[in-house]
Amino acid sequence: MLKKNYPPGPKRKKRAKAPSEYGKELREKRKLREWYNLKEIQFRKYVKEALNKAKQGKDASDLLIKILETRLDNVVFRLGFACSRKEARQMISHCHFLVNNKSVNIASFLVGKGDIIKIKPISKKKKIFQNIPITLKKHTAPNWLKLNVAQLEGKVTGEPSLEEAAPPVEISAIFEYYSR
């Protein structure tokens, strides 16, 4: 039997359609949402919050990135305690981290300037945290975070910026999508 590399039926050339404006906006929204590993409801809430604050004269793009970057799961990832945001989220839900010496198991917890994030002393003995000091020596944290490798803790010293986060999307398209 002869196997051909095209489907049966009349042969037609398929034209590549240019995506619509809505399609571009939807793609950008999905990219950013998946980059930060968020559900649609959470992401929509953050975008609406940024749009509401933008009416007061602030830049909506900076506000949205600031909210997304200061989530605890992202901060744990940026400090280098986890290899991915999904892993950071799981570590947080398993109560391996202290924020200002209080146990936090909510990944969407927003950290502020001056907050100290560290691994629980009991959790440092776990197998997942055994190689952390070695990997942290190669890791460089963003400017708004200060990492103390010896004590396995990080401190929020500033606020994240849009240029430093450098998301791979066009943020204005996301706001256009949600302003419909």
pTM of the model: 0.85
What's the whole-number average pLDDT of the chain? 90
pLDDT at 67 over 90: yes
φ, ψ of residue 76 in degrees (nearest 5): -60, -40
In the block, tokens 């909506």 appear at 60
Tens of pLDDT, residues 86-134: 999 999 999 999 999 999 999 999 999 999 999 999 998 999 888 888 8
The structural domains of the chain, with segments of one domain joined by +, span 23-68+162-178, 71-156
pLDDT at 146 over 90: yes
DSSP state letter for 14 = P
Q: From CA 92, how far away is CA 88, in angstroms rounded?
A: 6
Q: What is the CATH number of domain 23-68+162-178?
A: 1.10.1050
Using CB atoms within 10 Å of the CB of residue 75, give its burial: 0 to 12 exposed, 13 to 18 middle, 19+ buried: buried
Write down the architecture of domain 71-156 according to CATH: Roll (3.10)
